Amino acid sequence: QKEVEQNSGPLSVPEGAIASLNCTYSDRGSQSFFWYRQYSGKSPELIMSIYSNGDKEDGRFTAQLNKASQYVSLLIRDSQPSDSATYLCAVNSYSGGGADGLTFGKGTHLIIQP
C-alpha cells in the first residue's frame, strides 16, 4: 500500500510569514510529485509539480524534493489570507502515461492569520 503522509493541521501562520508544508511518501520508486490547493467546498487546483531533486520556484511558492529522504515540501513566502486552504500532496509511482498511479495525502489545513 503506497502511502502519502501529511500533518492534518491546522497550521496557523501569521500574514507575511513563510508557511512550510511537509509531505512524506512510502514508495521509493515514486517519479513525480504535486501540490494541490483546495479551498473549502471547492475542487483541488494544481499549484506546483516537481520531478527532480532540489527546489522549484514559482512566484511565492517553492517546492522542495528530496528523494533520498522521501520528502516533499511546499514553502509559501509572504503568506496572504487568500492562501488559507487545504494543501494536498500527491505522488505518482508511474514513470509515464496517466495519473492512475497517483496517491494523494489527506491534506494540511493552512490558516493565515491577518
In this structure, is the dihedral angle defined by the CA atoms of residues 55, 8, 88 and 94, taken in order, positive or negative?
Answer: positive
Given a contact cutoff of 8 angstroms between Cβ atoms, the answer to whether 47 and 37 are in contact is yes
Q: Which stretch binds another protein (CB under 8 A): 19-27, 29-37, 58-66, 67-75?
A: 29-37
DSSP state of 83: G
Q: Which stretch binds another protein (CB under 8 A): 12-20, 40-48, 59-67, 76-84?
A: 40-48
Q: Which stretch binds another protein (CB under 8 A): 12-20, 31-39, 52-60, 72-80?
A: 31-39
* 90 touching another protein, by CB under 8 A: yes
* 58 touching another protein, by CB under 8 A: no
Q: Which of 62, 92, 108, 112 binds another protein (CB under 8 A)?
A: 92
* 63 touching another protein, by CB under 8 A: no
Phi (first) and psi of residue 71, to 5 degrees: -140, 135
Residues 42-71, buried b or exposed e (16+ Cβ, 10 A)? eebeebbebeeeeeeeeeebbbbbebeebe
* 108 touching another protein, by CB under 8 A: no
Kindly list the residues in this chain that would bind another protein in the complex (CB under 8 A): 31-34, 36, 42-46, 49, 88, 90-92, 94-102, 104-107
